[in-house]
Chains A and B, each alone.
Chain A
């Protein structure tokens, strides 16, 4: 059966057979870099269009429908426009930090791409501490946001950045606990192991109610971590105009914008990997025929389907809920989500030790 694994394996073999190992490694890095960058561009275009279409559907309107067939090229046109715009640096801004910040946010997003398995055998770096790496690197983006807010020399930006800092640091904890509970069940930090452990069923279904609680908390926490509504306090249009990126224009703004969507994709990909079995097809117990049919759907489609389902959920939140207030945001985390997720982790550990999961 066709699999991306064949392509990656054979291309690697060909590289190492043709060149000596150093050049092969360098070439591999270049190919991966090009792939990641093009993936970024494509994801940005697709997700922005998707958001606009989803929003339009929910708001009884059509959304972009003029540029290209069914408005498909709208985001491409918008990107062109942003590229041609002047990238202003405000007077009195810290120029170095101001210009560095969008790249920090972008690079943080790029780095997290490494351990994500897009399909069977299609993974950049199957590091043995994959999940830990993801949690660690995802925190880097907050530095970029703080940098942007601080360097802009704008009070709205400063407030937005401070809010964002408090928010991301707090919600990292809950997200971490939810991730750890799957690590406990799977018994490994490595992405490929976690996916392999879900061959007989996804952890969302196998881990009883605690796994579902962990999943719900994970979704809430990552929505907050990506600064999405109802937790978009860092941008809070009606309060802080545009929050930390008020002063950014042109491509620098586009980078923040892109990073937001890439971050959504990444957290949803991780959620899909941990709770919904990554590229693993849906298997139900002993239904041999059903399982066999499911196996015929390519693994990349499984992965993308699950990820985009979660992305849709997060977009749905955004267009439904009002925004929380800053103190409510923090009390939700520290008074409710954190104690629940700690207790939940204990339950999951108990389930894992006693082997009660399916």
Chain B
């Protein structure tokens, strides 16, 4: 039949970035190799997956990276310690605040700066608002991957409020660049506390609404329960962090394990689900929304007076040595590793992004499941492609 040869020939044997694809060359009779992405509605960015199918069943998933690689780590080497923080907003743009925060922490570690208590609380508040905004977007996109369009709009309705709050205080809505070494760039806007309180009040009911619309939906539960199972041991060996690992029962919340700023002073729970399937990862994130709200509720009325920024020199110079700091973003552990030669710019910078490690588990999780499951698994990994490629 002329069709059979054609179907395997069209676009699969040669990878768009050159060279043969391992899966396609070894493809058995009846196997179908499909390129999902770099332009595909469910990859949310330029992720390229080469999947090998037997009918509808996935044999293998091979992620191909590099479509949005901007060599951020290299760029950071020529930027000063104040400047390089802004580039990290462009990595995991949904957790821009938290990325900035992680970098600021590392620089402060090198400078051994003492952060004013007011700045610490503002930073935590901003981090948690960012976490809510990020999980909101994930929730909408996840439902959309599973074929429900409406949740996306509901999620964006609430996310919009957070963006407005951010805009008022930081002057930007997506890449805020608000965290600087030594504290935050400006003091909070006079409206900040009131608007956050209004938002929290509104948002508590909205999470119940989300549960009604998606979490308790029987189709949604059937689509996610028992899908993409990742055992605790696998989660550790793939280096998964964040909600992905916590959905498999691994304790890995940096906020609890290595508390920074005021996380050791606020009461909140680390959410652990043991099932390890997509539904467990989903539940972790939904419950984290409530925990973030809890943290904000405790802090919003208790912002101490004082400086919002420590006194720092105009030109920062880190002492010779290696510095590492870690922080919990919405996606997991974000690590910043700085090697300093004592100059005004870092000698070498390495970012440990949560998305990269989480993506590496995708092949393991989706083997033997259906194409539809792949979307459910990718949805719960909550991938942000610029974070993976950097």
Contacts and interface: CB of A to CB of B under 8 A. Distances in A.
Q: Do the two chains belong together in a single complex? A: yes
Interface in A80-100: 92
Given A324-B223, A326-B56, A92 B10 contact: yes
A241 B370 contact: no
Contact of B372 (A55, A92, A239, A321): A239
A236 B34 contact: no
A159 B57 CA distance: 12
A155 B32 contact: yes
B106 interface: no
Contacts of A150: 3
Given A325-B373, A326-B56, A320 B150 contact: yes
A146 B350 CA distance: 51
B29 to A, nearest CB: 16
B258 interface: no
Interface stretch (A39-47, A56-64, A294-302, A344-352): A56-64
Contacts of B157: 60
Given A59-B154, A155-B34, 11 more contacts: A59-B153, A92-B6, A155-B7, A159-B371, A230-B219, A238-B145, A239-B42, A322-B148, A323-B146, A323-B372, A326-B56
Interface string B321-353: 000000000000000000000000000000000
A153 B10 contact: yes
Interface of B: 3, 6-7, 10, 32, 34, 40-42, 56, 143-150, 152-154, 157, 213-214, 217, 219-220, 222-223, 370-375
Interface string A47-77: 0000000010011110000000000000000
Nearest to B214: A322
A118 interface: no
A156 B10 contact: no
The DSSP consensus for interface residues of chain A is loop
A328 interface: yes
Contact of B147 (A60, A238, A328): A238
Contacts of A112: none
Contacts of A233: 372
A59 B372 CA distance: 24
B66 to A, nearest CB: 22
B34 to A, nearest CB: 5
A322 B372 contact: no
Nearest to B8: A155
A162 B110 CA distance: 60
7 contacts: A59-B150, A60-B153, A92-B10, A238-B375, A241-B41, A321-B219, A326-B56
B149 A59 contact: yes
